Amino acid sequence: MIEPSPSPIVPRGRRAIDLSAVDDVLSRLAERGWHTSAQVAVSVDDSVSDTVIGTVRCGSVPATRTTRFRWSCATKLLTVVALGILRDEGRIRFDDSLCAHVNSLDEGVFGRIRLSHLLTHTAGIAGDPVGDTPAGVDRVEMLDAIRAAGLEWEPGSTASYTPQTGWCLLSWVVESAAATPFDVFLAERIFAPLGLEHSTVRWDGRSPAGASEAALYDMSARPPAVLLDDRSDPEWSAGVSGSGPAFELVRVMDVLRGAREARLVSGETLREIRSAHRRGLVDVSNGMSLDWGLGIVRDRRLFSPRCSSEAFGHLGDGGSVITFGDARLNLAVAIVFDGAARPMAALARQAGVVTAVMRAVANH
């Protein structure tokens, strides 16, 4: 039996949500071999409760509430917040041409791409050229790969989820508009104001001091195989390389839902981000038809039927990250596992844990 952590901590002094039933579900699923550790954080009415179970590093290190878990594709939420801040400051517009900020690309080809196309995975760039480049390549080589790929579709006409290329380009947009390195902008304008002391977008030695780390395992392999590990992969990416504890990831969702204690972006810009910018397009990469806001899935079917129509969020590799917010319910949730699962197992795990979380919220 995997023992749950001590009672949840409420950072801002309000009554904690009872997550003991969530602990039970997490532990039962761990015994099935779907993960060895997990964290859950729930923010309701600006009060955060969180819990953790299990061990990391193949049982050698107990997981704690500050253990860093991989955020994988949910890392993209940081770029969304960064662009929201810059939009409020008048430095970007979501309908700007990509080439207005990344002027080393051919205007005749890539000038038709708007920032909103990148944010909704409808830019039309062929494949995921940045994701396909070898580790250690520099920006010049990444740009060469993007130019070589070119456009496969007219921007806005077709949806194709690309984990890295669009978000690499958006990170360069942030750097151009802010005149600051992307990771420095995140550290100064997002992490510091929110008090995110254990989170990072770095996979190298500049990670937060003293933070224990959970590798991400393919739990369908026997024995489980490492998919992502801070200790072995020195690269970083605006699209996938974030990591941190769940109680800090949920603060990023607090920003996007407009929580009072996480006001980094104006209400007007948040409404623009959370509006449906893509409807009815079937994603050619995964066959799914989901509504998208700007950088977020705006479709409660992906999260919980107990959410309102205002729900939005993002998932990570093999269901290893589930994070969503609901402005109408004043709710944000972040769930992270150290195990990626096959699609059906990931859906079953998500349904079990999210159902337990939403019941705990309803009973609060």
Q: What is the pLDDT of residues 186-220, one digit of tens each?
A: 999 999 999 999 999 875 545 555 567 888 888 88
Q: Are 248 and 356 found together in one domain?
A: yes
CATH classification of the domain holding 295: 3.40.710.10
Mean pLDDT of the chain: 89
Q: Are residues 117 and 69 in the same domain?
A: no
**Residues 277 and 331 placed together within one structural domain of the fold:** yes
> How far apart, in whole angstroms, are the C-alpha atoms of residue 361 and residue 178?
39
Instruction: Please indicate, yes or no, whether residues 209 and 72 belong to a single structural domain of this protein.
Output: yes
**Residue 129's domain spans which residues?**
91-178
pLDDT at 230 over 70: no
**Number of domains making up the chain:** 2
> Shortest CA distance to 250 belongs to which of 49, 22, 13?
49
* Model pLDDT, residue 228: 66
Cβ neighbours of 301 (radius 10 Å)? 12
Judge whether 84 lies within some domain. no
Rounded mean pLDDT of 81-88? 98
- Alpha-carbon distance of 153 to 284, in angstroms, equals 11
Q: How far apart are CA 145 and CA 128, in angstroms?
A: 9
The one-letter amino acid code at 139 reads: R
User: Residue 343: what are its φ and ψ, rounded to 5°?
Assistant: -50, -50
Residue 242 near residue 199 (C-beta atoms within 8 A): yes
Same domain, 128 and 200: no
Q: Are residues 167 and 288 in the same domain?
A: no
240-274 pLDDT, tens digit per residue, is: 889 999 999 999 999 999 999 899 999 999 999 99
Q: Are residues 201 and 225 in the same domain?
A: yes
Predicted pLDDT of residue 92: 98
C-alpha 264/C-alpha 77 separation (Å) is 13
User: CA 227 to CA 207: how far, in whole Å?
Assistant: 19
pLDDT at 232 over 50: no
Per-residue pLDDT, averaged over 316-342, amounts to 94
Same domain, 274 and 339: yes
At 111, the pLDDT band (50, 70, 90 cuts) reads: very high
| 244 vs 251: CA distance, rounded Å | 11
Answer yes or no: do 352 and 294 share one domain: yes
Domain boundary residue, one of 155, 178, 201: 178
Three-state DSSP state, 41: strand
Task: Decide which of 159, 178, 197 is a domain's last residue.
Answer: 178
Judge whether residue 229 has pLDDT over 90. Answer: no
What is the DSSP-derived secondary structure letter of residue 165? H
Question: What are the structure tokens assigned to 135, written together?
Answer: 């580790």
Task: Please report whether residue 11 resides in a domain.
Answer: no
Q: Does residue 126 share a domain with residue 216?
A: no
Query: 187 and 283 share a domain?
Result: yes
46-67 burial code (b ≥16 CB/10 A, e <16)? ebbbbbbbbbbbeeeebbbbbb
Give the end of a domain, one of 152, 178, 204: 178
Q: Does residue 159 surpass a pLDDT of 90?
A: yes
Single out the residue of 216, 213, 214 nearest to residue 224, CA to CA. 216
Dihedral angle of Cα 322, 326, 330, 336, to the nearest 10 degrees:
0
| Model confidence, pTM | 0.92
Sheet of strand 331-337: strand arrangement = 61-62, 47-56, 37-44, 331-337, 321-326, 311-315
With a cut of 90, say whether residue 106 has pLDDT above it.
yes
Gap between the Cα atoms of 123 and 110, Å rounded: 9
Instruction: Count the Cβ atoms, other than its own, within 10 Å of residue 153.
Output: 15
